[in-house]
């Protein structure tokens, strides 16, 4: 019988880079998923299907580490079998493709192991993501596993504390532009400045953390339907300030800046990059679903006119909190 596992894409709303150094962050899980299917068999190892050949070795590394963590102190089932992978998450654009892979594999191994503790599964996925990013914050794997809108309080090198935010409806435009550098390179360059006690960078990280904390407070306390538009306006202001700071760190690109300006011209209240930067994912906050649809259509047209290969990643997204709890 097949053993299934899945991980969600993510959108980091506030706190990128600062979260690596213990400052808070706010993120949203997306509906796009990566799925794995394990078919245990008599083979000595796992045969990877559904990926390019050069990716197979890394996936085997991740799988091996997760199995080592999951079966520490107990007998591991012998052999492997077929491992099928299917993903709709764009790679290398800041939507958490590596985190979703680690979570999907951890969830599948947990199912095989009979483990249901989400925090333990998160810990396995978090340690596995170190194979991709060295010192991940744990936020991407948390969003890939938990699903929803969360505030995170990082506790490096441990996984962070997560608080689900009920908040208010969010109407977003989500998109991406090509990256000029990898996430690892961007994170590493900033780490060197912090290690060198660059006080200017330390102050910037603290400010990004404060903006994330302010965003979390808005989404934590404004739970009445009538407060949605005022919350969106305030979040838009915070996004604009954060983007200005990130642009000053040379983490934005001219293409992203142009798309963000076009979104504001179409009625968006503010927007910013999402994740490590250097291009990649971005979002815009809109006052209502209609504005989000119109802005997304305008950005799709502009992206195609600029001949960006990421034009297909731009779409409107409305998130509504679950009021049942």
pLDDT digits (tens, 9 = 90+) for 29-50: 999 999 999 999 877 889 999 8
Quote the CA–CA distance of 77 and 71 in Å, as a whole number.
Answer: 9
* CATH number of the domain bearing residue 8: 3.30.230.10
Tokens encoding 273: 């990059």
Query: Which carries the bigger pLDDT value, residue 82 or residue 155?
Result: 82
Q: Are residues 55 and 147 in the same domain?
A: yes
Q: Are residues 143 and 75 in the same domain?
A: yes
Q: For position 155, what pLDDT does the model report?
A: 84
Q: Are residues 80 and 222 in the same domain?
A: no
* 7 pLDDT tier (thresholds 50, 70, 90): very high
Q: Which domain holds residue 198?
A: 170-319
pLDDT digits (tens, 9 = 90+) for 37-92: 999 987 788 999 989 888 999 999 999 999 999 999 888 877 789 999 999 999 98
Buried b (16+ CB within 10 A) or exposed e, 141-165: bbbbbbbbbbbbebeeeebbebeeb
Q: pLDDT over 70 for what percent of the chain? A: 92
Cis peptide leading into 135, omega within 30 of 0?
no
Q: What is the mean pLDDT of the chain?
A: 90
Quote the CA–CA distance of 24 and 160 in Å, as a whole number.
Answer: 9
* CATH number of the domain bearing residue 312: 3.30.70.890
Per-residue pLDDT at 266 exceeds 80:
yes
Per-residue pLDDT at 325 exceeds 50:
no
User: Does the residue 16 lie in any domain?
Assistant: yes
User: Does the residue 212 lie in any domain?
Assistant: yes
Alpha helix (H) residue ranges in the chain: 53-70, 97-113, 118-133, 139-146, 183-195, 199-221, 228-248, 254-265, 289-305
Q: Average pLDDT of 280-287? A: 97
Q: Are residues 229 and 120 in the same domain?
A: no
Q: Average pLDDT of 142-147? A: 97
Q: For position 189, what pLDDT does the model report?
A: 65
Query: Which of residues 130, 164, 198 is at a domain's end?
Result: 164
Q: For position 73, what pLDDT does the model report?
A: 84
> Which of 142-156, 223-237, 256-270 has maximum average pLDDT?
256-270
Q: Are residues 212 and 257 in the same domain?
A: yes
In total, how many domains does the chain have? 2
Q: Are residues 144 and 11 in the same domain?
A: yes
Per-residue pLDDT at 324 exceeds 80:
no
Name the phi and psi angles at 232, rounded to 5.
Answer: -60, -40
Quote the CA–CA distance of 143 and 27 in Å, as a whole number.
Answer: 7
Q: Are residues 146 and 211 in the same domain?
A: no
Query: Which of residues 135, 164, 193 is at a domain's end?
Result: 164
User: Does the residue 41 lie in any domain?
Assistant: yes
Q: For position 194, what pLDDT does the model report?
A: 61
User: Does the residue 325 lie in any domain?
Assistant: no
Q: Are residues 92 and 134 in the same domain?
A: yes
Per-residue pLDDT at 300 exceeds 60:
yes
Q: Are residues 199 and 175 in the same domain?
A: yes
Q: Average pLDDT of 109-115? A: 94
Q: For position 241, what pLDDT does the model report?
A: 97
* 235 pLDDT tier (thresholds 50, 70, 90): very high
Q: Are residues 210 and 125 in the same domain?
A: no
Q: Are residues 138 and 118 in the same domain?
A: yes
First to last CA, the chain: 35
pLDDT digits (tens, 9 = 90+) for 206-234: 999 999 999 999 999 866 556 778 999 99
Q: Are residues 185 and 151 in the same domain?
A: no
User: Does the residue 66 lie in any domain?
Assistant: yes
This prediction has a pTM of: 0.91
User: Does the residue 142 lie in any domain?
Assistant: yes
CA-based nearest residue to 145, from 39, 38, 65, 34: 34
* 93 pLDDT tier (thresholds 50, 70, 90): very high
User: Does the residue 277 lie in any domain?
Assistant: yes
DSSP classification of residue 275? S
């Amino acid at each position: 019988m097949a053993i299934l596992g899945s991980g969600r894409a993510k959108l980091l709303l506030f706190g990128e880079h600062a979260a690596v150094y213990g400052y808070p962050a706010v993120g949203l899980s997306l509906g796009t998923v990566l799925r794995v299917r394990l078919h245990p068999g008599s083979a000595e190892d796992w045969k990877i299907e559904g990926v390019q050949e050069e990716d197979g070795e890394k996936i085997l590394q991740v799988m091996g580490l997760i199995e080592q963590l999951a079966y520490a102190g107990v007998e591991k089932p012998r052999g492997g079998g077929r491992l099928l992978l299917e993903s709709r998450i764009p790679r290398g654009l800041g939507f958490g493709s590596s985190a979703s892979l680690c979570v999907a594999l951890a969830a599948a191994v947990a199912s095989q192991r009979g483990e249901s503790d989400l925090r333990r599964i998160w810990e396995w996925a978090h340690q596995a993501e170190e194979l991709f990013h060295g010192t991940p914050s744990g936020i991407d794997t948390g969003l890939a596993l938990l699903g929803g809108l969360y505030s995170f309080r990082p506790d490096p090198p441990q996984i962070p504390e997560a608080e689900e935010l009920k908040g208010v409806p969010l109407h977003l435009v989500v998109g991406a532009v090509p990256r000029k550098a990898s996430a690892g390179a961007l994170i590493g360059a900033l780490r060197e400045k912090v290690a060198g006690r660059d006080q200017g960078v330390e102050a910037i990280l603290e400010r990004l953390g404060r903006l994330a904390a302010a965003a979390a407070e808005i989404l934590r306390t404004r739970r009445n339907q009538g407060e949605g538009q005022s919350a969106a306006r305030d979040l838009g202001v915070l996004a604009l300030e954060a983007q200005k700071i990130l642009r000053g760190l040379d983490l934005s690109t001219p293409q992203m800046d142009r798309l963000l300006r076009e979104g504001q011209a179409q009625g968006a209240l503010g927007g910013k990059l999402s994740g490590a930067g250097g291009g990649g994912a971005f979002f815009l906050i809109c006052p209502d679903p209609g504005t989000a649809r119109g802005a997304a259509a305008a950005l799709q047209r502009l992206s195609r006119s600029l001949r960006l290969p990421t034009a297909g990643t731009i779409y409107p997204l409305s998130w509504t909190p679950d009021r049942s709890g």
